[in-house]
Amino acid sequence: MICIPVNYSLFIARRILSGNEAGRFSRPIVRISVLGISLGLAVMILTMAVVTGFQNEIRDKVIGFGSHIQMSSYDNNDSYEFLPIEKEQPFLDDIRALEGVRHVQAFAVKAGIMKWKGQIHGVVMKGVDKDFDWSFFSKNMVDGKRFSVKDSGITNSIVISKYMAGRLKIKVGDSVQVFSIQHSGIASARKPVVSGIYETGMGQQFDEVFILTDIARIRKLNGWTDSQVAGFEVLVDDFSRLDELTEAVNGEIGYEYQARNIKDMNRPVFAWLGAQDINAIIVIALMVLVAGINMISALLILILERTNMIGILKALGSDDWSVRKVFLYNAVYLIGRGMLWGNIIAIGICLAQKRFGLMTLDPESYFLSRVPINLDVVHILLLNAGTIVICTLMLIIPSYIVTRITPVRAIRFS
């Protein structure tokens, strides 16, 4: 008595996969298809890791200078001259209590000119208070250290960029002249000491412009009282909720003030970052298409190679779908094997890049010194799932060739 497995299609597929493929003309085709799947998935994972890593790095740099949300007087224009508002506001506690808000800090800005040994450079002084979050600048500090804001008086220290230091030949500890126009219309010259030098790679946008100073210095230049600031900066935990939290903040502050998020204040930069998503989608779509075509070619070769077996199975009573499943199981196995190697290759390259920074970039063009990597497990799982589902669906139609093979002709074909 012959025992036939319930799922004999899977049984036969396993026997084919465990058999000796030497001498069969399908062997190189199958290997090429597996290689195509491996390289395709590796390119998709690398594309997502690099694109999202690049977006995150640039976004974090822009946010580091301007926070996620900025609150100021509603009458302000886009210049660096802000109308003062009171530092103590009744809505601040409500904003801090909003779910997703991480930190709220005061700020003030003032345009000026920095002079050192006969050379000058236009700057924007950003005044920070004791509540300023230094984490971004501490991470990007290349020399010296940050300064501490005093409870009273003006801290005679500033933090400048590496670009400014290189252009004017300034070192940590140098006392430079900073000129600006006071509220009275008289030019004022101060000689703060450079306590630290930062570098973010965001040249014309930020590094060539911004220096950090005590907010008390900005108050004095503007003729403000100790209780006045230009506005408040809000840092949030989840960037994906930025629009939602901006609306919530606007709802708390009233009509006298306005809250704008970093995307509104830097539309060109974020439009450029958004365009990278389209590039990633195009690359992923092309790689899936190529991988699917490779597997279709391999499937057709496997079917033609085993035409005799197909005829025998049909002669024994197998229906078309059961025979088709034999080859679909084979194809899915080959896809899985290719995906395994694709994951190993891509994750290995990503980890090596994160650890050693093997691939570098021109900071002048890309704002980064090396290729950034964002290795997200969710992205990897979605790419793997999408690849195997789409490739398998693409194989269903070509597998219909089995239905055109008749037992008589197939058995005679050898």
pTM of the entire predicted model: 0.82
What integer pLDDT is reported at residue 33 of this predicted model?
84
In this prediction, residue 291 carries a pLDDT of 87
Please tell me the predicted confidence (pLDDT) of residue 1: 43
Looking at residue 21, its pLDDT comes to 44
Query: 253 Cβ partners below 8 Å, 6+ apart?
Result: 71, 89, 91, 95, 259
Name the helix (H) or strand (E) containing 73: strand 69-73
Residues of the chain whose pLDDT is less than 50? 1-3, 21-23
- Could you read off the pLDDT of 304-324 as tens digits, one per residue? 777 788 788 877 788 888 888
Q: Which of 123, 193, 131 lies closest to 158, judged by CA?
A: 193
Instruction: Answer yes or no: are the C-beta atoms of 405 and 310 closer than 8 Å.
Output: yes
Q: What is the DSSP string of 335-390?
A: HHHHHHHHHHHHHHHHHHHHHH--SB--HHHHS-SB------HHHHHHHHHHHHHH
Q: Report DSSP state, residue 76.
A: -
pLDDT value, residue 23: 42
Cα-based distances in Å from 62 to 25, 88, 222, 270, 338? 57, 27, 26, 10, 39
Distance, CA of 290 to CA of 185 (rounded, Å): 67
The candidate with the shortest Cα–Cα distance to 236, out of 244, 227, 228, is 244
Q: What's the CA gap between 383 and 96, in Å, rounded?
A: 38
pLDDT of residue 410: 65
State both tokens at 16: 């084919």
Give the model's pLDDT for residue 71. Answer: 93
Q: Do the strands 119-128 and 210-214 form a parallel or antiparallel pair, or are they unpaired?
A: parallel
